[in-house]
Structure 1
């Protein structure tokens, strides 16, 4: 039956049985399959399982990925509820698998010990879970000692527990976030395997986080101590300048007499004491000896007066489990030496000093030449602070200060991943082949440059006694054209005057990026006006001002408790990535952005040509002589 375009013909066609026969024929003609075909569901579940295991398990993201996979595989889309039920089953299977892998090696004694985390103590007010997840608040030496005690108590729970390397880091982090935000009673009511897996992930993650808290406190306290010593040294120096100047002037007069050739050697002493009496000269010499110090000596004197602030050092070195890269191993030997000293053990030879810089060498000896343990502690403290910042020394378990080599592939794992990595970055798998390509490019660039040198007035080669010397004239300044200056003024005049919070709120209104921030429990937030709070937290984090300038007690969305709650539960790496993707997508929809993203553009400073090589400036132009504007 011919199908017309009118409404009457379409209605007649829909009332017949022909449409049921035509559907499979059309599907078979174009190579489509139905969702119930053998193998389709299995392959879809396998795809979703891998995505859920290694990536995100958010239902909305999985639904979009499943729909995309079905369309690319030419499968007829099922009903919404059918796909939602399939995704829910896959998420349940993945969660159960994560829980099984985390608890597979737990003993009954370890399960019982973990359950005490959510059990309320004798006072009936707080469980160990509630108490331990509260980190330090102050920045002081006693607070470091309390942070070490907290870390030690956490380790009593982690002793013998399995590692988290059997599950993806994102899954373990999600379980830890849930336990860190939920009430202890809610965790206690979970099913046995899920509760045990959640507590394992939480306590292991908390151990690394507690180590980071100790490092943060140590960095802040030690930096303040060294900074105060330097400030006090400068102030002491300023206070002593008047007395030092007075004594120096007297000694200057004595020096002038000694240098006067008209006074004989025999009459020098008489002339000196006639100008400055013996007692005054003796006082001036004593004053100079007291006030004049070698370079940085005043700093070390003031630093030694603050050794009382180092009372936390023995407990911190004993409580931290540190490792080191090759550059930090001499310092780690010094830390081990101090640990033995603090424990009262017998010293094994001389203290390691390979890490000591030249400026600290004098501080390791007393006036009589004996070993100065106080100076050694101060030097170790200063170098340890710097080494942790450079990651030469790092905690064994850490989230922010971990070994930078931890994520590198080695051995068989690298050999298996080498082809994919090299293909991704666009280099040859074989090193000799890549070196040959670079050598050819270098040889070509050298020959092209050498051929242009005779005709280039900006380049001069002068023969010197030690060999040829290359002289290159500096680039001439290119003034901005009047049209560009007028354009700058016109743009500045059109830019609106607004505060940063208003700009963030307007961008949310235009793009809706605030909806990408979801609660750690993957549930919908019940708080009203949550977007305002999210924008306020983003402003506080971006400007590094904290919540104080943004707190408004009369506005529920800007109360301190709301801001802190949103920061703890909504600000995560995955939510920030999703929000940034929304902003980039909105940016790409702007016509000017699309135009810049397609055409090859030259910026003013990139358009200029280098008179030394008479070719486009390579750092700007790149290997192909053009620059693509990054979207």
Structure 2
């Protein structure tokens, strides 16, 4: 039945391609050819994502979008095919080499190439806009901000010296004026200057005043204005892609972004204009696209003729507005996965009426809107009253205070909590358990856990979802050890054993070890963990703790972002991990750099690998906002913020981030299998390949999840 369904799918997709354009199948097959003088095919070239964050690289990314868009695959009528079937077909083709695709029979070959190109069409747009966001943030905005901050810091010694002189003079001046006022005497200017000159000469006072006037602009937003002036000097960075960006037909806008998109459409003409011969006039630009922080840089450049507009500053100003509009999705792209129009996915009319009851019931919003809001108001009011009563009872010893800010908003201040010490019994128990754990090779550990849980059976083939390969678990274990320990394939390759040859491992890595199969394997581990008797005493899985781990990324990629605090001059990613109160990692996701992770946490919770849905989510308070609390509440989660408090002598880690988390608890909890014993060298083909990497109870177990997900 599966083969029949696959043949029908291939025939349907290939037929749609031929009906759209009889020459389209031939054009797609031509991408499998390797041009003369090159080492890879056109398809392989189109599959390669951008890696550099430069204006030229973004221009090439836009050219790649245009090349893929030239096939016009959006005209194919494939609405009758389920999206997941097309996605699976595209994944299989993307995981295959060009030679394998070229040898495939028709109509399978045309169907796979069509699915790949449709996928690449959206993927190329996503990667181009990702690159634009990284380029704007790192090469333009952050660079200009650092430059202006450095310039302001360089003037600080002058400002401090001048301020000290003025402070001494002002103190004497005020004292003399108060004395004159008290004695109701006439003001003697000469005597006043004489008193001032006793602390600072008149020339020094006048010079200090001039210095302060020069270094401290009257504008309250002087820092923003100075940053925009520095940002205008980055025109050379954006010039290579202005024409391609303005002429791209992939961008569209909602009503709030129409003006920004119109400004972007005008960038090619501005880039071609010779402003030295024909200066740009105010009537030729959209004044409403120029915010107050940009007005001085755009309209008051002293190096230009009176009344002329600074073309470079205006162009960068429009790009900054585009940067913000894309983040807000006021400007969006199509086709796209990450930058598409979120409003298009909202249901309305008959579509919403058909699912309204089920959706509201799933979100526990079955009561009328006004009653629901009134209930929330009552709960919030009761919470504030309870807090006020407890603060009154605590008196001066309270660790919490309420501060009313200038804008009328109330801010809750919490003193930093101290670390709690560990009882001696816990320390004794930990050492005792660690001594009881036997030494064992990492491959033996994985094989034994697989005997209890069968988690290795989740690693199925990319194409048909089956596992027909002999000794596949051995190959998968070798790859898991290789990636979890970051040792590469060489230590686990064994040419004398078929399952461990390099060719076999490369094949398994390409077709079996994927994000979805790792998630499926983790789901089996979560289920097995929950079935251990002792785990039921720890919790019901309704509490989840979420935090991030930082990893440096040694390769060049736009999916890593800078963070001097964590990565120095390098780039990295944050791996968000959700761990429930049964000490099982139930979900995770990778985000570039170190962003405010509250919404990413919500995304990870909505895409868990397995386990029950948690009701309470604990995380740190770095990403607090009222909007975040509201979103968690609507989706059925109770968000609880916890300050990060380190234990004495230990770094602050979440329970699930401890390297001893999953496999150790699975062993010591009395699982379905026997306790691991000391293996003999040569028990299986992988024995000895992790020589020197044996672990005892006091060492960390294999951290398969982080390493595997950094890879993907």
User: Offset at 1:209?
Assistant: 0.9
Asked if the contact 1:247–1:285 (Cα under 8 Å) also holds between the matched residues in 2, the reply is yes
Secondary structure of the residue that 1:105 maps to in structure 2?
helix
Q: Give yes or no for the alignment of 1:299 onto 2:255.
A: no
> d(CA) in 1 for partners of 2:168 and 2:379?
68
User: Offset at 1:598?
Assistant: 7.7
Change in CA separation of 1:357 and 1:559 when aligned onto 2, cut-off 3 Å: farther
The aligned counterpart of 2:337 is 399
Q: Give yes or no for the alignment of 1:235 onto 2:150.
A: yes
Q: Give yes or no for the alignment of 1:131 onto 2:62.
A: no
Change in CA separation of 1:240 and 1:401 when aligned onto 2, cut-off 3 Å: same
The aligned counterpart of 1:409 is 347
Aligned runs of 1:218-233 on 2, under 5 Å?
Answer: 218-225=132-139, 226-233=141-148
The aligned counterpart of 1:531 is 477
- Structure 1: runs of 5+ lacking an equivalent: 1-86, 461-473, 541-548, 607-618, 624-631
Task: Provide Cα deviations, 1:14-46, integer angstroms capped at 9, x if missing partner.
Answer: xxxxxxxxxxxxxxxxxxxxxxxxxxxxxxxxx
Aligned runs of 1:332-347 on 2, under 5 Å?
Answer: 332-339=261-268, 341-342=270-271
Asked if the contact 2:172–2:196 (Cα under 8 Å) also holds between the matched residues in 1, the reply is yes
> d(CA) in 2 for partners of 1:303 and 1:249?
33
User: Offset at 1:223?
Assistant: 1.3
Change in CA separation of 1:141 and 1:324 when aligned onto 2, cut-off 3 Å: same
The aligned counterpart of 2:99 is 185
Change in CA separation of 1:550 and 1:211 when aligned onto 2, cut-off 3 Å: farther
Asked if the contact 1:133–1:206 (Cα under 8 Å) also holds between the matched residues in 2, the reply is yes
User: Offset at 1:373?
Assistant: 3.6
Secondary structure of the residue that 1:137 maps to in structure 2?
coil
> d(CA) in 1 for partners of 2:257 and 2:541?
49
The aligned counterpart of 2:89 is 175
Q: Which has the larger radius of gyration?
A: 1
The aligned counterpart of 1:208 is 122
Secondary structure of the residue that 2:534 maps to in structure 1?
helix
Asked if the contact 2:11–2:108 (Cα under 8 Å) also holds between the matched residues in 1, the reply is no
User: Offset at 1:555?
Assistant: 4.3
Asked if the contact 1:135–1:213 (Cα under 8 Å) also holds between the matched residues in 2, the reply is yes
- How many residues align? The count is 490
The aligned counterpart of 2:605 is none
Greater RCO, CA 8 A, separation 6+: 2
Which of the residues 184, 189, 209 maps onto 1:265? Answer: 189
The aligned counterpart of 1:366 is 300
Change in CA separation of 1:242 and 1:481 when aligned onto 2, cut-off 3 Å: closer
Asked if the contact 1:247–1:288 (Cα under 8 Å) also holds between the matched residues in 2, the reply is yes
Q: Give yes or no for the alignment of 1:387 onto 2:325.
A: yes
Asked if the contact 2:93–2:116 (Cα under 8 Å) also holds between the matched residues in 1, the reply is yes
User: Offset at 1:144?
Assistant: 1.3
User: Offset at 1:531?
Assistant: 2.5
Change in CA separation of 1:112 and 1:599 when aligned onto 2, cut-off 3 Å: closer
TM-score by length of 1: 0.61
Change in CA separation of 1:349 and 1:236 when aligned onto 2, cut-off 3 Å: closer
User: Offset at 1:333?
Assistant: 3.6
Asked if the contact 1:533–1:562 (Cα under 8 Å) also holds between the matched residues in 2, the reply is no
Secondary structure of the residue that 2:156 maps to in structure 1?
helix
Secondary structure of the residue that 1:323 maps to in structure 2?
strand
User: Offset at 1:205?
Assistant: 0.9
> d(CA) in 1 for partners of 2:235 and 2:419?
58
Asked if the contact 2:233–2:313 (Cα under 8 Å) also holds between the matched residues in 1, the reply is no
> d(CA) in 1 for partners of 2:317 and 2:91?
39
> d(CA) in 1 for partners of 2:195 and 2:290?
49
RMSD of Structure 2 on Structure 1 (CA): 5.4
Asked if the contact 2:33–2:42 (Cα under 8 Å) also holds between the matched residues in 1, the reply is yes
Which of the residues 524, 533, 548 maps onto 1:582? Answer: 524
The aligned counterpart of 2:316 is 378
User: Offset at 1:174?
Assistant: 2.1
> d(CA) in 2 for partners of 1:409 and 1:160?
23
Asked if the contact 2:32–2:41 (Cα under 8 Å) also holds between the matched residues in 1, the reply is yes
> d(CA) in 2 for partners of 1:600 and 1:581?
16
Task: Provide Cα deviations, 1:54-107, integer angstroms capped at 9, x if missing partner.
Answer: xxxxxxxxxxxxxxxxxxxxxxxxxxxxxxxxx445444553454356436332
More strand by proportion, 1 or 2? 2
User: Offset at 1:440?
Assistant: 9.6
Change in CA separation of 1:189 and 1:316 when aligned onto 2, cut-off 3 Å: same
Which stretch shifts more, 224-233 or 336-345?
Answer: 336-345
User: Offset at 1:529?
Assistant: 3.0
Which stretch shifts more, 204-213 or 291-300?
Answer: 291-300
> d(CA) in 2 for partners of 1:561 and 1:395?
40
Asked if the contact 1:177–1:520 (Cα under 8 Å) also holds between the matched residues in 2, the reply is yes
Aligned runs of 1:492-571 on 2, under 5 Å?
Answer: 492-493=430-431, 496=434, 506=445, 509-510=448-449, 511-522=453-464, 524=467, 529-534=475-480, 537=483, 550-551=487-488, 553-556=490-493, 569-570=511-512
> d(CA) in 2 for partners of 1:560 and 1:361?
62
More helix by proportion, 1 or 2? 1
User: Offset at 1:128?
Assistant: 1.2
Which of the residues 106, 109, 117 maps onto 1:195? Answer: 109
Asked if the contact 2:32–2:99 (Cα under 8 Å) also holds between the matched residues in 1, the reply is yes
Secondary structure of the residue that 2:57 maps to in structure 1?
helix
Asked if the contact 1:534–1:566 (Cα under 8 Å) also holds between the matched residues in 2, the reply is no
Which stretch shifts more, 558-567 or 226-235?
Answer: 558-567
Task: Provide Cα deviations, 1:212-242, integer angstroms capped at 9, x if missing partner.
Answer: 1112222222211222222222222232323
Task: Provide Cα deviations, 1:253-312, integer angstroms capped at 9, x if missing partner.
Answer: 76678765588336878999996586x778666655554443344433433333322223
User: Offset at 1:569?
Assistant: 4.4
> d(CA) in 2 for partners of 1:559 and 1:382?
52
User: Offset at 1:152?
Assistant: 1.8
> d(CA) in 1 for partners of 2:112 and 2:100?
12
Asked if the contact 1:127–1:184 (Cα under 8 Å) also holds between the matched residues in 2, the reply is yes
- Structure 2: runs of 5+ lacking an equivalent: 181-186, 275-279, 394-412, 495-499, 544-580, 582-615, 617-631, 637-712
Aligned runs of 1:317-356 on 2, under 5 Å?
Answer: 317-319=246-248, 321-339=250-268, 341-342=270-271, 351-352=285-286, 354=288
User: Offset at 1:491?
Assistant: 6.2
TM-score by length of 2: 0.55
User: Offset at 1:365?
Assistant: 2.7
Task: Provide Cα deviations, 1:390-410, integer angstroms capped at 9, x if missing partner.
Answer: 434322122233223344333
> d(CA) in 2 for partners of 1:244 and 1:596?
60
The aligned counterpart of 2:548 is none
Secondary structure of the residue that 2:20 maps to in structure 1?
coil
Task: Provide Cα deviations, 1:334-357, integer angstroms capped at 9, x if missing partner.
Answer: 323435534669999664455665
> d(CA) in 2 for partners of 1:316 and 1:395?
12
